[in-house]
Each structure stands twice: as C-alpha cells, then as structure tokens.
C-alpha cells in the first residue's frame, strides 16, 4: 500500500471551494486551505484540524511541501493565480473559467 502525502492546497473555500476541501481531505491529500477571510479559515479548522490554514496565497506558493494547488476563487482572479502557481513550480487545477479573455490565456 502506498502512503499518501498531504501535498495539495485549496485556494478559495467558498461556493465550490468547500467541496474541493472536503474531497481532497477525504482523499488524505489536503495540506492547506487558503482563504482571505480569517473567520472562514477558523471555521474550517474546526472541521479539519489536521489541515493548515493560510490567508496568504504567496505563502502557499512558497511552501515546498505543497506540490499542487486547486484554485476556486472568483473567476477574475484565476489567470493571475494560475500563472503565479505555475511559475512557483506547482501543479494546478483551476475551476472554470481558466481566464476571462484570450489575452489572459497566453
């Protein structure tokens, strides 16, 4: 049996992000949840005490233990966050849309 490591972060824990948090946690791979709302982080920490909470996306990007990031933030933020995550060497899953214009997708 291969031991799973907690290497995934979820950025954005709102409408759809909460489902990603639950599913990655159930797969035993959730390392960190990231949200700009500290009250939201606190509430998730009660439900998922073994997971780290972070309000800084840049700290998530800088964490070498995090190998992949699922992005479920407002659509207008996707292109920049995806670009930053890729440049930080992270694997990325992003909720649709990837970007809001063709120019952002280049």
Please provide the DSSP assignment of 78-90 as one string.
HHHHHHHHHHTT-
More confidently predicted of 95 and 8: 8
Mapped onto helix, strand or coil, the DSSP state of residue 71 is strand
* Residue partners of 72: CB distance under 8 A and separation at least 6: 10, 11, 12, 13, 14, 15, 16, 17, 20, 95
In this prediction, residue 63 carries a pLDDT of: 98
| pLDDT in the model for residue 99 | 85
Over the stretch 50-93, which tens digit does the pLDDT of each residue have?
Answer: 999 999 999 999 999 999 999 999 999 999 999 999 999 999 99
Q: How far apart are CA 47 and CA 105, in angstroms?
A: 36
Binning pLDDT at 50, 70 and 90, where does residue 1 land? very low
Bond from prior residue into 63 cis (ω within 30 degrees of 0): no
pTM: 0.92
């Amino acid at each position: 049996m291969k031991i799973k490591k907690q290497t995934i972060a979820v950025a954005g824990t709102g409408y759809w992000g909460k489902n990603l948090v639950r599913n990655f946690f159930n797969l035993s791979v959730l390392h960190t949840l990231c949200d700009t709302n500290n009250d939201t982080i606190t509430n998730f920490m009660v439900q998922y005490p073994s997971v780290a909470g972070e309000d800084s996306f840049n700290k998530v990007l800088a964490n070498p233990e995090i190998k992949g990031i699922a992005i479920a933030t407002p659509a207008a933020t996707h292109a920049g966050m995806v670009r930053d995550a890729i440049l930080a060497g992270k694997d990325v899953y992003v909720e649709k849309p990837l970007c809001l214009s063709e120019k952002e997708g280049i």
